Amino acid sequence: MHHAFKLGDAEHNLELSRSASAYRLHLGEQVVDVDLKTGADGRAWLTLGERHIEVVIATRGDDVFVHLDGEAYQLRYQHPLDRLAAQAGGSAEDHIRAPMPGSIVSVTVKAGDAVAKGQTLLVMESMKMETTIAAPRDGTVAAVTYEKGQTFDRDALLLSLEPMEKKS
């Protein structure tokens, strides 16, 4: 199995296995004894080797939110199948995602349009500032997700390009 979590922009591979009393976390060559006991109020105790650390954990879908040592973190579980699919076809440039939450001011292309690198695809607005989203490469628009006036969250898929044909 290939398990991974995304934390910030980095992806971390890991495995979890049973130990006699609890679990073991495998990070590359490192193996650490781990366990988690949750109380009624959502506060929990994480055992990490010899250490016991108070944490607060919440989950939603594939997101795990952890409050640890005075700070909050967000980790996203990467499904093994999704990761395989991502490796097999398509590149990050095919999917144009929102750099921040906002709304669509205008969309200048539609599915099927041929676009050139640098061409304006759409204009979004966030924090009272307009941002132009341009084509990262030459290609054909596969789909446009939002219409003028609609709002979206950060990392929302705004527009996708047809995958580039592999050079044989």
Partner 1 sequence: MTTAQPDVSKWPFQSVLVANRGEIAVRVLRTVQKLGLKGIVVYHAADRGTAAVKMADQAIEITGPTPVASYLDGAQIIAAAQASGAGAIHPGYGFLSENKGFCAAVEAAGIRFIGPTPEQIDLMGDKVRARNFVEKAGFPVAPSAIEDDDPKTFVERSRKVGAPLLIKPSAGGGGKGMRIVRDLALLEQEIERGRSEGQRYFGDGRLYCERYIENPRHIEVQVLGDGQGSVVHAFERECSVQRRFQKIVEETPSPALDAALREKICETAAGIARSLNYRNAGTVEFIFGQGGEFYFLEMNTRLQVEHPVTEEITGIDLVLQQLRVAAGEKLGYGQADVKSSGHSIEFRIYAEDAARGYTPTTGPILVLHPPQGEGVRWDSGVLQGGEVTSAFDPMIAKLIIRGSDRNDAIARADKALRETVLLGCKTNTAFLRRLLQHPAFVAGDVHTGFLDANPQIAAEPEMPAETLQALLGAAALSTRPMRDVADAVPDMHAAMGGWRN
Integer Cα distance of 65 and 117 in angstroms = 37
DSSP string, 17-34: EE-SSSEEEEETTEEEEE
Of the candidates 141, 145, 136, 146, the one whose C-alpha atom is nearest the C-alpha of residue 91 is: 136
Among residue numbers 106 through 125, which ones bind partner 1 (CB under 8 A)? Answer: none
Among residue numbers 136 through 155, which ones bind partner 1 (CB under 8 A)? Answer: 151, 153-154
Segment interacting with partner 1, rule: CB under 8 A, options 95-103, 108-116, 138-146, 158-166: 95-103
Assess 36 for contact with partner 1 (CB under 8 A): yes
Nearest distance from C-beta of residue 129 to partner 1, angstroms: 10
Tokens 């304006």 locate to 120
Of the candidates 118, 165, 168, 123, the one whose C-alpha atom is nearest the C-alpha of residue 144 is: 123
Integer Cα distance of 4 and 15 in angstroms = 8
Query: Of 11, 39, 65, 117, which one interacts with partner 1 (CB under 8 A)?
Result: 65
Q: Using CB under 8 A as the criterion, which residues of the chain lie in contact with partner 1 when the complex forms?
A: 1, 3, 5, 7-8, 12, 14-20, 23-27, 30, 32, 34-36, 42, 44, 46, 48, 53, 55-60, 62, 64-75, 77, 79, 99-103, 126-128, 151, 153-154
